[in-house]
């Protein structure tokens, strides 16, 4: 990252303004830069330089006063919401937002946990890296069962773009040949452990409709030339991913898309630039730039551009659009349909089960795998729906042996207890559900009428809750996992369905959805605003349904597809 790439004040009119530098923003910048377009990547947070700014990488837990547990008073006060994230601890807390500076409100009787990572790279430094393709079963579900509007695209529209982004990102995956889970362009998959292999065989025998496979993840297991040129090498299975990876072994903005964009000479970066709103020209019916508030000193500035890519996250992009009011759009930019902010969804993680696996005392494994076992959605079409709920869920987890980290929490004293900590403990297994959330208009995010944040931007107000459909689905998921573990002969089985609030999957989607009809959607099939053709929204806001699989791979494919469409339109003079 060169200093001359960093922008603060600028009178230049850029070809492209990309708002947000996470997974989608990095892809938009890469594609536009490689096409020769002068691109400004606008990030509300600080710079994070690959390798240099991973301060906790490689540090052992014994080097932390609380053994990596973030429980000091300051953290509890300023990051209470962020602490709910699975990736939050004393080694990663610097990559998460400060709740004090990022307030929002919720409707009475509802909850939403908004996890944020405001720095260059965004949540691409913190994501769980599980990468699965949507199938036509996902993309046609709305049309078939009547919940939500039909997606304006099908799998054939996304398939070549999945190929494209997977080749560049690097995906470790097996070839599973499942209709509901299309195969990826992949590198060698990670291996299952012996208990997992035996569990897989048991499930195949007794639950043939529930195929168990190894999870697919954005980790390099056999880097190609395209990866090596960017300084990316093989995953070391250290399980330190959320601290940043100097090996570049997992896909992030820092390891992959940013260096690819920077080497073109067309990339500029504006850090610490909180986008307040988009500037709409009434005479041109186009956006001509963005209004920015400085993250540190609260001064205001503007950046000009011919095309805008909103990649600020589902909720960040929606907040910007809602706050971009004008004579033409008094209720938010590109909101002639009135659906902006509605149909908010997140994945439902509220069911799990754990157990002890007897035996296998001579079995162990090497390294810390970044994925595990995965059972894709087996309720993937209306004929397979359960009688008590529509849509479905996936199951994921893994089997591991107890180690000193976990056993050190047990009661004990003396030489014998200390000696026991040097030995591997019993095999344990955990599995959790990831369920689909239906698109419902009353699940909504809006601007608070009076409350603003420190940058003078209206706070988001959430009205979002699980429906009976999602709650019933999780009860079924917990029972299903328990039944599978019982058949496998596992012991000390514990299963539970909970009601943690939406947001904690960090898979929020849907609040600026795409569609064929401009009266029912914000975006067209190329993620282009129906009302303002030089604005594209390519993050999760564009989704028409949540599907069941993790969404980030689809974010990448949609962004690459939209960027190439925008580039073609721009060079043809139509934008």
Task: Report CA-CA distances (Å) from 573 to 339, 453, 566.
Answer: 30, 39, 10
How many other C-beta atoms are found inside a 10 Å radius of the C-beta of residue 10?
A: 14
Please choose, from the candidates 212, 234, 213, 215, the residue with its C-alpha nearest in 3D space to the C-alpha of residue 223.
Answer: 234
C-alpha distances in angstroms, 375 versus 44, 495, 530? 38, 17, 38
Give dist(CA 19, CA 481) in Å, integer.
Answer: 41
**pTM (predicted TM-score):** 0.96
**H helices present in 278-354, as ranges:** 314-323
Q: What is the pLDDT along the chain (575 residues), one digit of tens a residue?
A: 666 689 999 999 999 999 999 999 999 999 999 999 999 999 999 999 999 999 999 999 888 888 888 877 667 789 999 999 999 999 999 999 999 999 999 999 999 999 999 999 999 999 999 999 999 999 999 999 999 999 999 999 999 999 999 999 999 999 999 999 999 999 999 999 999 999 999 999 999 999 999 999 999 999 999 999 999 999 999 999 999 999 999 999 999 999 999 999 999 999 999 999 999 999 999 999 999 999 999 999 999 999 999 999 999 999 999 999 999 999 999 999 999 999 999 999 999 999 999 999 999 888 899 999 999 999 999 999 999 999 999 999 999 997 655 555 567 777 777 776 777 889 999 999 999 999 999 999 999 999 999 999 999 999 999 999 999 999 999 999 999 999 999 999 999 999 999 999 999 999 999 999 999 999 999 999 999 999 999 999 999 999 999 999 999 999 999 999 999 999 999 99
33: left (phi over 0), alpha (psi -120 to 50) or beta: alpha
- In 3D space, the residue among 399, 393, 411, 328 whose CA is nearest the CA of residue 357 turns out to be 399
Give the containing element (helix H, strand E) for 19.
strand 13-19
What's the distance, Cα to Cα, between the start and end of the chain in Å? 30
Q: Residue 449: how many CB atoms within 10 A of its CB?
A: 8
Contact 144, 381 (CB under 8 A): yes
Question: Can you name the residues that pair with 348 across neighbouring β-strands?
Answer: 435
3-state helix vs strand vs coil in the chain, percent to 5: 30, 20, 50
Q: Tell me the domain boundaries of the chain.
A: 190-216+349-435+466-501
- Per the DSSP assignment, residues forming a β-bridge with 427 are 357, 401
Strand 535-537 vs strand 300-310: parallel, antiparallel, or unpaired? Answer: parallel
């Amino acid at each position: 990252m060169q200093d001359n790439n960093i922008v603060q004040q600028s009178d230049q009119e850029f070809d492209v303004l990309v708002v947000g530098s996470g997974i989608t923003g990095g892809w938009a910048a890469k594609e536009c830069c490689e096409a020769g377009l002068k691109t400004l990547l606008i990030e509300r947070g600080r710079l994070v330089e690959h390798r240099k700014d991973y301060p906790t990488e490689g540090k052992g837990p014994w080097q932390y006063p609380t053994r990596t547990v973030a429980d000091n008073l300051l953290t509890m006060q300023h990051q209470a919401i962020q602490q709910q994230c699975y990736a939050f601890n004393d080694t990663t807390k610097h990559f998460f937002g400060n709740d004090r500076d990022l307030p929002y409100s919720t409707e009475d009787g509802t909850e939403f946990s908004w996890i944020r990572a405001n720095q260059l790279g965004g949540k691409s430094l913190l994501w769980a890296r599980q990468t699965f393709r949507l199938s036509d079963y996902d993309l046609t579900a709305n049309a078939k069962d009547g919940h939500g509007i039909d997606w304006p695209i099908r799998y054939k529209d996304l398939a070549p773009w999945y190929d494209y982004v997977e080749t560049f990102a690097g995906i470790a995956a097996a070839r599973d040949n499942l209709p509901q889970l299309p195969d990826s362009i992949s590198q060698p998959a990670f291996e299952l452990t012996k208990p997992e292999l035996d569990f897989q065989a048991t499930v195949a025998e007794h639950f043939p409709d529930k195929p168990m496979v190894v999870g697919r993840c954005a980790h390099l297991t056999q880097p190609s030339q395209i990866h090596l040129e960017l300084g990316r090498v093989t995953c070391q299975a250290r399980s330190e991913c959320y601290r940043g990876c100097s090996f570049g072994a997992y896909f992030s903005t820092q390891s992959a898309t940013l260096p690819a964009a920077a080497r073109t000479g067309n990339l500029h970066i504006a850090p610490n630039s909180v986008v307040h709103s988009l500037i709409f020209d009434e005479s041109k019916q186009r956006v001509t730039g963005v209004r920015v508030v400085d993250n540190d000193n609260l001064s205001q500035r503007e950046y000009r551009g011919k095309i805008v890519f909103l990649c600020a996250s589902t909720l960040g992009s929606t907040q910007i659009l809602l706050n971009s009011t004008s004579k033409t759009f008094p209720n938010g930019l590109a909101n002639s349909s009135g659906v902006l902010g509605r149909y908010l969804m997140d994945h439902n993680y509220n069911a799990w089960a754990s157990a002890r696996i007897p035996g296998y005392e001579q079995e162990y494994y090497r390294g810390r795998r970044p994925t595990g076992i995965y059972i894709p959605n087996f309720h993937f079409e209306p004929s397979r729906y359960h009688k008590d709920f529509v849509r479905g869920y996936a199951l994921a987890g893994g089997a591991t042996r107890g180690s000193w980290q976990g056993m050190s929490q047990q009661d004990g004293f003396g030489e014998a207890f200390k000696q026991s900590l040097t030995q591997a403990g019993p095999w344990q297994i955990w599995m959790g559900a990831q369920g689909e959330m239906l698109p419902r208009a009353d699940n909504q995010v809006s601007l608070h009428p009076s409350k603003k944040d420190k940058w003078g931007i209206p706070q988001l107000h959430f009205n979002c809750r699980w429906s009976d459909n999602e709650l019933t689905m999780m009860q079924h998921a917990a029972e299903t996992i328990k039944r599978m573990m019982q058949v496998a002969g596992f012991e000390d089985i514990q299963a539970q369905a909970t009601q943690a609030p939406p947001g904690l999957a960090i898979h929020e989607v849907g609040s600026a959805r795409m569609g064929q009809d401009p009266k029912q959607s914000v975006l067209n099939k190329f993620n282009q605003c129906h009302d303002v053709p030089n604005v594209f929204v390519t993050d999760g806001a564009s989704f028409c349904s949540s599907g069941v699989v993790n969404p980030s791979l689809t974010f990448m494919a949609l962004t690459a597809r939209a960027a190439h469409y925008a580039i073609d339109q721009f060079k043809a003079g139509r934008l």
